[in-house]
Amino acid sequence: MVGIVEVSPRDGLQNERALLETGAKIELIERAVSAGARRIEAVSFVHPKLVPAMADAEAVMEGLHRADGVSYIGLVLNRRGYDRAVQAGVDEVNVVVPASDGFAEANQNSTTEALTEVAEEVLAEAAGRDLFASLTIATSFGCPFDGEVDPDRVVEVARRGAAAGAKEIAIADTIGVGVPTQVRTLLDGVRSVAPDALMRAHFHNTRNTGFANAVVALEWGVDWLDSSAGGIGGCPFAPAATGNIATEDLVYLLDRMGHPTGLDLDALLPIAGFLSDQLGYTVPALLPRAGTFPS
């Protein structure tokens, strides 16, 4: 069974104009849990001036009613963020390194090499603490500043991350430019240098290729797919980046293909309405509009 990591509370909300109250974020997370989500990227520990939507990360974690069997993930970019995440009591950390220097510069005023070194330190620290840690390689499929990204850059970051202690490697199509052939190439490359790591994929549907990419990743044998309730999301540092693949639409697709996810569509569908009310517009997910089939 392929697993789904629900990322709407973090990647979904971070690029929205409307800033949700802490209580609304907690409700979103708890609605996802009630629908069957068992891994949730709940918060990120980043500079509040750069990503105001995530300024209340500690308050969100403190206010959650932690459910048994659910892993609450905190995204971190550096040692400062990691220390905050540990203090807040996350179950996992997700460390992000861009594969392109242009994105590293725009996002963190740094380089891929420097951020890989930071990630190695954080991943080793997490391994020493026995805290599950993922490495997400952003702009794996293309960069809004540098253009095409050499797959060898992605594979090298993965190799170093796995050697430092990452238990999971995620390839991320941050700006939604990827196509299925790239999915296979990148997953094969990462597997060759990180044979023991879990494999995860993160797709945006900016150019309507996200679900095709998810199917190819599934057929390849990926362990986890990221998705966002309502199809919301994007990156504040990536021009024209739009939403993640929608959790509702992905679950419908996988269910119809005979791949159970453990998520309940009847419980998922109302989340889109909740998000639409909170954000002030109709969210992009299509299944809440069209309905399931058979009805």
Kindly report the number of other CB atoms within 10 A of residue 260's CB atom. Answer: 11
246 vs 4: CA distance, rounded Å = 11
Residues 207-242 have pLDDT tens digits of 999 999 999 999 999 999 999 999 999 777 676 677
Residues 7-45 have pLDDT tens digits of 999 999 998 999 999 999 999 999 999 999 999 999 999
64 vs 71: CA distance, rounded Å = 12
**39 - beta bridge partners?**
5, 71
By annotation, the residues acting in catalysis are 235
Residues 86-140 have pLDDT tens digits of 999 999 999 999 999 999 999 899 999 999 999 999 999 999 999 999 999 999 9
For residue 237, the model assigns a pLDDT of 67
172 vs 80: CA distance, rounded Å = 23
For residue 1, the model assigns a pLDDT of 85
Residues 275-295 have pLDDT tens digits of 999 999 999 999 999 999 998
Q: Which residues contact 181 (CB under 8 A, 6 or more apart)?
A: none
230 vs 273: CA distance, rounded Å = 8
Q: What's the rounded mean pLDDT across residues 141-165?
A: 98
Closest CA to 271 of 288, 253, 291: 288
For residue 295, the model assigns a pLDDT of 82
User: pTM to 2 decimals?
Assistant: 0.97
Angle at 192 between CA 190 and CA 194, to 5 degrees: 65
For residue 123, the model assigns a pLDDT of 98
- Predicted confidence (pLDDT) at residue 255 exceeds the cutoff of 80: yes
For residue 234, the model assigns a pLDDT of 77
For residue 109, the model assigns a pLDDT of 94
Closest CA to 134 of 18, 3, 242, 32: 3
